[in-house]
Chain A
Amino acid sequence: MTLQLDFNVDRGSFGLEARLSLPSSGVTALFGRSGSGKTTLLRCIAGLERHPGHLSFQGEEWQSSRHCVPTHRRPLGYVFQEASLFPHLRVAQNLAYGFKRIPHQQRRIEWDEVVQLLGLEHLLARYPDEISGGQRQRVSLGRALLTSPHLLLMDEPLASLDATSKEEILPFLERLRDELELPIIYVSHSMEEVIRLADHMVLLDAGKVVAQGSLQALLTARELPFVRTETSSTVLDARVTNPEAEDGLTELEVAGQPLLVTRHSAPRGQQVRVRIMARDVGLALFPPEGISFLNCLRVTLLDSQPGVVPSQLLLRLALGEQVMLSRISRRSATHLQLQPGQTLYALIKGAALN
């Protein structure tokens, strides 16, 4: 655990109480509705807002009752919702702003690396008002990375962008997560982004921490609202066993069982995540034959609960240590006489690698 925080914000109508330990690697999503306190919490971590509390990062005290390290002395990068580039500086000068303030020996991320990773070569000589919103956000991300931060904070970096620009940036964020060993705290209210990027999740509601844990644990937790949405899904940890399987497929292994997905560029042996929607998972009592479903995983039924509509049930299935979801009709469940602990075969209609 690398980031320990304990904040108590009281602003009259709005309050925030957060006591958290966040992991030292991967992407942690701060998830919640507007007004749940996500951004305030992020700003407290950055030191942009001062509220009573305690904060330490990798054993170093950033805030206590006695002192507070000012923002410019904290080794962090911050990406704001709007790109907020300096309007009087060209793209290259914007990128250089933080970079030149970092002593050479402390630079772990190099200029060319960032310019290449974010595809900024052709933008360097432009002014911020001459490039698109998506490009601006890429520059602002690059600008933050070039300070070689030990912690990257992102406040809904995609929220103000249109769908095309979002798709333009998401792959960069994924590469960032995979290629740089940098803990990232990512504020979002978009489930799509969280599922694509996050490893851990902190769920905030009305200024309180409702739950925290691995993405999979929260997505499949009985008591949390995620299982009761139309798009409820799980993410499974898998490993690539045959990237170039026949018929344009890639073969993965999940809990010792094979899983086929659409061809993906991930190399053999790489750990990947597969998103499976609850509505795409059917169940059988015996391994079926003569059906079109590509994937059939042996699972154990954990429990069931009412689905979004009265005619449906949501089932939680254990796959080794992992948990996946299936949504079936109440009638099918009665018909199959499903019991917790029972061994079942999960038929998966679509699995998306992410």
Chain B
Amino acid sequence: MFELSDAALTALWITLKLATVSTLALLVLATPLAWWLAHTRWRGKVVIEALVALPLVMPPTVIGFYLLVLLGPRGWVGGFLESIGVGHLAFSFTGIVIGSMLFSVPFVVQPLQNAFAGASGRVLEVAATLRASPLDRFFSVTLPLSRRGFLTAGVLSFAHSLGEFGMILMIGGNIPGRTQVASISIYNYVETMNYSAAHSLSLVLVLSSFTLLMMVFALNRRFKVVGVA
């Protein structure tokens, strides 16, 4: 029977929080990178592009492992944070947010890069002849023309974070109430032969992902009406 225990709800809540926080932070940070990639003529750009795409082909556990090493108490980042009294990031919520962001980089950067490349050239020249400064042009022309790119990027990153397992297990561990997300809970339920709890939680994930994607397709259609002529 469909039933969600308190523990399952907590795991869902952490999952939701993780997906939201990492998506928003990633959108902000990836925008300048995508802009730069869309406009630079630097030949070494392919190196950066390959790096951006790397999470697509790497096993999540590998990313998780390196992050654990890096962010843990003896890693460069974790060690530095320890030394200034902040504390390392292994097995913390911040740790899994960072992991999630890194993991979704290609899903955000590529749609944004395409959107920025499409919303450049002539329209930006026109805006310049109409007295708009570079920053003004970005906010008044590039951003509005790239909104479909932002929507795609946001949703892909969000949906991707909802289902991540291996990477989070590595860097976050399996701490209920802190780093135990829905996918890990499901794994735990299966391990303990609690199939009905695993079913319930799985069903929630399937339905929410489906609803999310459906919303995107609906919104995309609406934007198209006003879209790029």
Q: Which residues of A contact B (CB under 8 A)?
A: 46, 48, 70-73, 76-78, 80, 82, 84, 86-88, 97-98, 101-102, 127-129, 143-144, 147
| B131 in contact (CB, < 8 A) | yes
Evaluate whether A86 and B123 lie within 8 angstroms (CB atoms) in the complex, with A97-B140, A127-B226 already known: yes
- 16 further A-B contacts with Cβ under 8 Å, apart from A72-B133, A97-B127, A127-B226, are A72-B131, A76-B129, A78-B125, A78-B129, A82-B122, A84-B126, A86-B123, A86-B145, A87-B229, A98-B129, A98-B131, A101-B136, A127-B229, A144-B129, A144-B130, A147-B129
User: In the assembled complex, how far is the CB of residue B100 from the closest CB belonging to chain A, in whole angstroms?
Assistant: 32
Known: A80-B122, A84-B122. A97 touches B130 (CB 8 A): yes
Q: How far is the CB of B146 from chain A (nearest CB, A)?
A: 10
Selected A-B contacts with CB under 8 Å, 24 pairs: A46-B129, A48-B128, A71-B125, A72-B127, A72-B131, A72-B132, A72-B136, A77-B129, A78-B126, A78-B129, A80-B125, A80-B126, A84-B122, A87-B228, A88-B145, A88-B228, A97-B132, A98-B129, A98-B130, A101-B130, A101-B131, A102-B131, A127-B229, A147-B130
Q: Is the CB of B145 within 8 A of A87?
A: yes
- B131 & A84 in contact (Cβ 8 Å cutoff): no
Closest to A81 in B: B122
Main secondary structure of the interface of B (DSSP, over half): helix
**A143 cross-chain contacts in B, Cβ below 8 A:** 130
Count how many pairs of residues, one from A and one from B, have CB atoms less than 8 Å apart in the complex: 67
Q: Most chain-A CB neighbours within 10 Å: which of B123, B128, B227, B228? A: B128
Which residues of B pack against A, CB within 8 Å?
Answer: 122-123, 125-134, 136, 140-141, 144-145, 226-229
Complexed CA–CA distance, A72 and B141 (Å) = 14
Residues of A within 8 A of B131 (CB): 72-73, 98, 101-102, 147
